[in-house]
Amino acid sequence: MNDTCAPFRVPSSEIDLRVRSLQAELKDTSIPAILIIQRVDLFYLSGTAQNSVLFVPAEGKPLLMVRKYYPRAKDESPLRNIIEIRSIKEITGLISDFFGKTPETMGLELDVMPVNSYLFYKRLFPETSLVDASPAILKVRARKSQWEIEQMEKTALLSQKVFLHLGEIIRPGISEIDLAADTESFARKKGHAGKLRVRDFQTEGYFWHILGGKSGGMLGLLDAPASGEGTSAAFPCGAGIRPIQVGEPVMADLGVVLNGYHLDETRMFSIGAMNEKARNAAEAAIEIHDRIIENMRPGASSCELFQFSLGVAADLGYRENYLGPPDYRVQFVAHGIGLELIEPPFIASGKEDILMPGMIFALEPKIVFPGEFIAGIESVVLVTDSGPRMISKVPAKVFIC
């Protein structure tokens, strides 16, 4: 039975901190108000994911307008101003009545809003200039509060149980997809929500990225070192039907989410001793991982850390295999993680992000031999005032089962 489903609520003090931080960013960017529509941002700023829109002025209290379902939103959100609506078309008049007027300029989450939705809101607010305020939201979300860090540590404990369970059930002949299904079933019973949220509209978050042997050397559509075979041409990534063999490298890249907060971790497994080539590559990936973590301190440059990782990989003899073959090498080695599986900031080529306390990264150095295998590791790391701290609880090692 799942023992993690006690009523979950975001504290009022946490919501207040987030709203005030966003309002400070709105003032800095001269945006007088923002309308929050995307579900993750809505939950982040209101504490509820019910069908609602949230109007946040640069000064004053936010207004949450709930289409469905008002009783649950009222129970879940600590916001003071919550009203029920029957149609989104009501919000223009409600904002005008509540705040005395509609804003001359209003921010929207244009990084994810479909064009049709943008045109709808443009018609709804004909006298208002609509601008992109997603950078302000993402800047606030990039640095986690102590409360958020605690939530991710709880998810890390769940993820640890999942990886240890995988090590107990892996066996010769089990297919990648069966191993993934059995592992996900265990995770769901322990509290894993199932849905992995991502901000990119072309990226689909899924749990079952378990690749054995040559499946790990299969390139594909993912912005990742290897995609795996998948189940069909319609979903050509992740675990496939291939049976897992004794002694081959098996990469398990699993996303786990608890109470909205994600962990994204990778560990290598083998049934019996792993072949030497794969074992050496897996150990090299762990060394790259450890060397990067040593340098994940406040003030470090994202781009410089990425370049540093390339140098370490080259020194270890994996220049042509690190993060994929040269023509298809991915241009990042770490991504932000929290309420979304993949979110800013990034440790990546050309990125100007500077690491700051409160940022949490999923760090994933991987080494690919096309047509043969993938070896790698991924851990979730917090940047603190005094340096890096592991959120991940799964041992950073190769699991021999």
CATH number of 82's domain: 3.40.350.10
276, burial (CB in 10 Å: exposed 0-12, middle 13-18, buried 19+) = exposed
Phi and psi, residue 255, nearest 5°: -105, 130
The reply to whether 126 and 49 lie within a common domain is: yes
> Which residue range(s) make up the domain with 39?
12-141
We report the CATH number of the domain holding residue 331 as 3.90.230.10
Q: Give the residue from 141, 171, 187 where a domain finishes.
A: 141
pLDDT at 1 > cutoff 50:
no
Q: Count CB atoms within 10 A of the CB of residue 256.
A: 28
Would you state the pLDDT for residue 200? 83
Any domain includes 7:
no
Query: Same structural domain for residues 127 and 179?
Result: no
Distance CA 335, CA 138 (A): 13
pLDDT at 46 over 90: yes
Structure tokens at 298: 């406040």
Going from the C-alpha of 90 to that of each of 66, 121, 355, the distances in angstroms are: 11, 12, 42
What's the pLDDT at 5?
47
Q: Are residues 85 and 224 in the same domain?
A: no
pLDDT at 4: 46
Structural domain includes residue 44: yes
Q: Do 192 and 308 belong to one domain?
A: yes
Cis link prior to 345 (omega < 30° from 0)? yes
Please compute the mean of the pLDDT values over residues 234-239 and round it to a whole number.
Answer: 86
In this structure, the answer to whether residues 310 and 202 fall within a common structural domain is yes
Using the 3D structure, point to which of 141, 156, 188 is the last residue of a domain: 141
268 within a domain of the structure (yes/no): yes
Residue 6 lies in a domain: no
Alpha-carbon span 214 to 113, nearest angstrom = 38
pLDDT category, 2, cuts 50, 70, 90? very low
* Beta carbons of 179 and 169 less than 8 angstroms apart: yes
Query: Which 3-state string (H, E, C) describes 139-203?
Result: HHHCCCCHHHHHHHHHHHHHHHHHHHHHHHHCCCCCEHHHHHHHHHHHHHHCCCCCCCCCCCCCC
Please tell me whether residue 249 adopts helix, strand or coil conformation. Answer: coil
- Which residue from 335, 258, 387, 338 is spatially nearest to 18, judged by alpha carbons? 338
Specify whether 129 is located in the same domain as 222: no
> Could you tell me if residue 19 is inside a domain?
yes
Please give the mean pLDDT across all residues of the chain: 95
174 and 288 fall within a common domain: yes
Rounded to the nearest 5 degrees, what angle is found at the Cα of 293, between the Cα atoms of 287 and 298? 160
Per-residue pLDDT reduced to its tens digit, 4-14: 445 899 999 99
Q: Is the pLDDT of residue 22 over 90?
A: yes
Mean pLDDT on 120-130: 98
Radius of gyration for the chain, computed over Cα atoms and rounded to the nearest angstrom: 22
Claim to verify: residue 132 and residue 161 sit in the same structural domain: no
Helix (H, G, I), strand (E, B), or coil: what is residue 317?
coil
The verdict on residue 4 lying in a domain is no
- Same domain? 99 vs 178: no
Residue 88, in any domain of the structure: yes
Q: What's the predicted TM-score (pTM) here?
A: 0.95
Residue 387 sits in the same domain as residue 268: yes
For the segment 96-101, the average pLDDT, to the nearest whole number, is: 96
* Helix, strand, coil shares, percent, the chain, to 5: 35, 25, 40
Instruction: Answer yes or no: is pLDDT of 201 > 90.
Output: no
Average pLDDT for 121-149: 98
| Percentage, residues of the chain above pLDDT 70 | 99
Query: How high is the pLDDT of residue 6?
Result: 55
Taking the C-alpha atoms of residue 359 and residue 335, their distance in angstroms, rounded to an integer, is 10
Which of 98, 114, 141 lies at the terminal end of a domain, its last residue? 141
The answer on 58 and 187 residing in a single domain is no
359 pLDDT band, cuts 50/70/90, is very high
- What is the domain count for the chain? 2
pLDDT tens, position by position, 164-173: 999 999 999 9
- Is 3 contained in some domain? no
Quickly list DSSP for 198-228. Answer: -SSTT----S-EEEEGGGGG---SSSSS---
DSSP 58-80: SSS--EEEEEE-HHHHHHH---S
pLDDT tier at 300, thresholds 50, 70, 90? very high
242-291 pLDDT per residue, tens: 999 999 999 999 999 999 999 999 999 999 999 999 999 999 999 999 99
Quickly tell me which residue has 């069909």 as its tokens: 232
Residues 200 and 54 in one domain: no
